[in-house]
Amino acid sequence: MRLSLHVNGTTRAVEAEPRDTLADTLRDGAALTALHLGCEGGSCGACTVLLDGEPVRSCIVLAVTVEGREVRTLEGLAGDSVTEALKRAFHEEHALQCGYCTPGMLVTARDILRRFPGPDEAMIRRELAGQICRCTGYMGIVAAIRRVGEALQETSGAGA
């Protein structure tokens, strides 16, 4: 069947079966490959995208259910100031190794900072509970998110 998906600010016509996941449809039908497929059961978070502004595991969302809704992948967050700051901080804090989890981590980290300006380590770790990284041990990831959160607090405090 033909679906009309609103992805990263543009409407895309894609072919999908009723049983196809959003992850497969975005990767195969729309050539958006930043999201990765890990567990394909919603546990690892590698496929996290924003659906109407909220993070979801695209591997457990059926593509047919998102017609008329806004989907943003990591590609669609290019140029977003928080995402760009997170990318720099992930690099500087050595928060990535193999990079497989990184797209989902970045989407989730941006959401954490959107909801909780200046989160502490415990909150970041709690919020990352659904994101699995098998390489880093999370220390660099947490440090990167804290760094950006602190910078955002300083910036917002400076204008107040």
pLDDT by residue for the chain (160 residues), tens only, comes to 999 999 999 999 999 999 999 999 999 999 999 999 999 899 999 999 999 999 999 999 999 999 989 999 999 999 999 999 999 999 999 998 899 999 999 999 999 999 998 899 999 999 999 899 998 889 999 999 999 999 999 987 754 4
The whole domain housing 95 covers 79-155
- Record the tokens describing residue 155, joined without a space: 């910036």
Positive or negative, the Cα torsion across 24, 27, 32, 33? Answer: positive
Residue 28 burial (10 A CB sphere; 0-12, 13-18, 19+): middle
C-alpha span between 5 and 147 (Å, rounded) = 35
Structural domain ending residue among the three candidates 46, 76, 106: 76
| 31 and 45 part of one domain | yes
Structural domain ending residue among the three candidates 76, 96, 117: 76
| 112 and 151 part of one domain | yes
| 9 and 50 part of one domain | yes
Predicted model pTM: 0.93
The H or E element containing residue 13 is strand 10-15
CATH code for position 25: 3.10.20.30
